[in-house]
Amino acid sequence: MGNNLEYLPQSISQLGSLQSLDLSNCNRLTQLPEFPEQLDTIYADWSSDSICNSLFWNISSLQHDIYASDSSSLRVFTSGENILSWFHHQGTGRRVTVKLPENWYVRDNFLGFSVGYSGSLIETKAYLIPLCDDGMSWMTRKLKLALPKWSTESNIHCFLVPFAGLWDTSKANGKTPNDYGLIRLCFSGEMKKFGFRLLYKD
């Protein structure tokens, strides 16, 4: 049975000790507010595209200052299992390679690559691969995952590979992101199933 809650107050972001939030019965909720820093577990109606988008927009805002030269860990959130239906690409195994659509990169709109998975991962390696093999450098980044304290292998975990954390202008040699046509993620640890989707602001 659901409730009539349609929105959460923005002041929830000030609840510094909040670590878990269960909104699974809030069927009228259309957007998530800004997260407090310590929140790492959230359950909601993941059948709603707007709720799923809000989750990853929040993750993106928490990682806006990660760049290709950084060694920061990626924040990982625990969510409900049915969130995987939101991802355009789904599968099993420890590696995924996705062909990017034409003109996939839109400046000031593209945020990064959203990932959901079940299993026990330690880190992931991300590779942005050129369309043509003409000596262009691959963009490569090893990313550690900062897992929630109470996470288990049966949970679905979510993280975002921010574009700014993968793109390195010094290696681009005048090329643009749209000259790269494949994204590959290699997972270190035990992977049961995963979902993958490009994330945009709107």
pLDDT in tens, 114-134: 999 888 888 889 999 998 877
Supply 47's token pair.
């059948």
Distance CA 80, CA 154 (A): 10
- The dihedral built from the CA positions of residue 198, 177, 74 and 200, taken in this order, carries a sign that is negative
Of 45, 16, 49, residue with least CA distance to 28: 45
Query: What pLDDT, on the 0 to 100 scale, is given for residue 72?
Result: 54
Greatest mean pLDDT among 24-28, 66-70, 102-106, 163-167: 102-106
For residues 78 and 41, is the Cβ–Cβ distance under 8 A? yes
Predicted TM-score (pTM) of the model is 0.86
With left for phi above 0 and alpha for psi between -120 and 50, is residue 56 left, alpha or beta?
alpha
3-state secondary structure 40-71: CEEECCCCCHHHHHHHHHHHHHHCCCCCCCCC
Instruction: Find, among 133, 136, 116, 135, the residue nearest to 124 by Cα.
Output: 116
Q: Is the pLDDT of residue 103 over 90?
A: yes
% of residues, the chain, pLDDT over 90: 25
- What span, in angstroms and rounded, lies between the C-alpha atoms of 56 and 200? 10
pLDDT at 184: 95
Selected residue with higher pLDDT from 61 and 97? 97
Helices (H), the chain: 49-62, 169-172
Mean pLDDT of the chain: 84
Report pLDDT for 1: 44
* Token couple for 170: 């010094």
> Which segment of 30-39, 62-71, 178-187 scores lowest on mean pLDDT?
62-71
